[in-house]
Amino acid sequence: MTGGTTTSFPMSNHTRERVTVAKLTLENFYSNLIMQHEEREMRQKQLEKVMDDEGLPDEEKRMRRTQHARKETEFLRLKRTRLGLDDFESLKVIGRGAFGEVRLVQKKDTGHIYAMKILRKADMLEKEQIAHIRAERDILVEADGAWVVKMFYSFQDKRNLYLIMEFLPGGDMMTLLMKKDTLSEEETQFYIAETVLAIDSIHQMGFIHRDIKPDNLLLDSRGHVKLSDFGLCTGLKKAHRTEFYRNLTHNPPRDFTFQNMNSKRKAETWKKNRRQLAYSTVGTPDYIAPEVFMQTGYNKLCDWWSLGVIMYEMLIGYPPFCSETPQETYRKVMNWKETLIFPPEVPISEKSKDLIQRFCCEADSRTGASGVEEIKSHAFFEGVDWEHTRERPAAIPIEIRSIDDTSNFDEFPESDILQPGKMYCEDQLNLYFLLICFYLSLVGRASSIVLLSFLNDGTHIKLAYMHLFLYWIILVEECTHVQYCILY
């Protein structure tokens, strides 16, 4: 401070990011403390209500309170336990996406079966993807277990992030639809009704899924629906970005072959390409609402559009805007008024067609805009018991032979995602780094230097080049900060 004035120093992007991370960490910590306290109070009140309803004597009530307190203590102890990869045995790969994979695992001390979602840090470094990780973790922690896949643990190591989630042996809706040509209206009613309740449950928590598609509708052991993948793996990436398609308007449509196919050929072609699209980095825009692509903003109604596309696929055999390329699909989605067509050779009821059209329309007139009751009251859902839908038998029974049955999942080859990375000569390079810092302290002035060590094979030639680079650094006259980065 000189002459009553304050000198302000610009904050670097790195510092801003660290401040943001610290802020989010503190917010999450205290938010979780409050939520855990509220949950404990709620469980205590539920216990008292049950005991009052049963008319238990005071001695029995004291015993139950003691048992409840013991369980709460054990629960807190488990929450404080730090888990790692060594606590789980990997059994089989059951899913794969652009940023990692899902494995069936067994916890070694209890024998419990889980689904372990593994995400490579190197592939998730984009800020957008990190935000999506936080979104998924938040919703999995806060969500009602009846409609959302439950998360039990999360941890990380140098290479990967790990989410330990409940294993749903029924597979996903994409696999079910690929096994069947179409679903009946009764079967479609069951799955769409449950998905309506699932989507509404996350909307009530203030979340927008934005990536509702058959891949993300999982089936439990009884065949009931649960939502998954809140912004990870194949969802909120290139397929959601208008920039990905910005040059397409200059290219003529190339979808003539697909347009001339009948419904049966379209369904066959769609199923043939569907699996590859599901596991690609780009994904597919088939289920994405047009307003998501636009820069004018969107709200939770975009999820109802996606549900309309899924309903169409269940009844017709393929989604309404499917094409040979994602680019052509995008073009069709953006021109939905001309491209949303019901093939005459696949008859469906008028009430089914009407609901699809009410889902796939302009956002401001879309069904659900005035609340979920507007959707529930549609004629297509006549006879649905909305209060007890999870208690009724599933429309298509799921056959499960054991707790680790994966027969409803695709087969995937093993990968090296769990193998330790190649850290050749890392200790030696750390020594070099310390020497650099020492030399630079002798030089005295500085800017920022990034040392890149290419360690694919660790040859003597590369080490020789490295020595030369070190000597060159010593001669630099503007230096105070060194960043060290190993690429391997």
Which of the four pLDDT bands, split at 50, 70 and 90, describes residue 279?
low
Q: What is the pLDDT of residue 82?
A: 77
Asked if residues 346 and 263 have their Cβ atoms less than 8 Å apart, the reply is: yes
Question: pLDDT at position 243, please?
Answer: 46
pLDDT in tens, 59-110: 999 998 998 888 778 767 766 667 889 999 999 999 887 678 899 999 999 9
* Structure confidence at residue 50 (pLDDT): 86
Cβ atoms of 381 and 349 closer than 8 Å:
no
CA-based R_g, the chain, Å: 27
d(CA 191, CA 182): 13
pLDDT at 273: 62
The yes-or-no verdict on residue 377 having pLDDT over 60 is yes
Least Cα distance to 102 among 111, 114, 112 occurs for 114
pLDDT for res 320: 95
Residue type, 192: I
Whether residue 15 has pLDDT greater than 80: no
pLDDT of residue 35: 74
pLDDT at 391 > cutoff 70: yes
Q: Which residues are catalytic?
A: 211
Maximum average pLDDT range among 29-43, 48-62, 362-376: 362-376
138-142, 375-379, 459-463: lowest mean pLDDT where?
A: 459-463
- pLDDT (tens digit, 9 = 90+) per residue, 435-478? 444 443 443 333 333 333 333 334 444 444 455 455 444 444 44
Query: For the chain, what are the domain ranges?
Result: 16-81, 173-381, 426-487
Strands 113-120 and 100-107, bridge-based pairing: antiparallel
Question: What are the pLDDT digits (tens) for 301-335?
Answer: 999 999 999 999 999 999 999 888 888 999 999 99
Q: Mean pLDDT, to the nearest integer, of 203-226?
A: 90
pLDDT value, residue 245: 43
245: closest CA among 286, 293, 288? 293
Confidence of residue 267 (pLDDT cuts 50, 70, 90): low
* Res. 128: pLDDT tops 90: no
Tokens 């888990």 map to which residue? 83
Do 168 and 115 form a contact (C-beta atoms < 8 A)?
A: yes
The overall pTM is greater than 0.95: no
Of the listed ranges 252-256, 314-318, 394-398, the one predicted with least confidence:
252-256
Q: How far is CA 132 from CA 217, 260, 293, in A?
A: 18, 39, 17
Q: Is residue 170 within 8 Å of residue 219, measured between CB atoms?
A: yes
> Average per-residue pLDDT in the chain?
75
Any idea which fold 173-381 has? Transferase(Phosphotransferase); domain 1 (1.10.510)
**Is 121 annotated as a binding-site member?**
no
- CA-CA distance, 439 to 434, in Å (whole number)? 9
Decide if pLDDT at 251 tops 70: no
| pLDDT for 42 beyond 50 | yes
CA angle 477, 482, 487 (to 5 degrees): 130
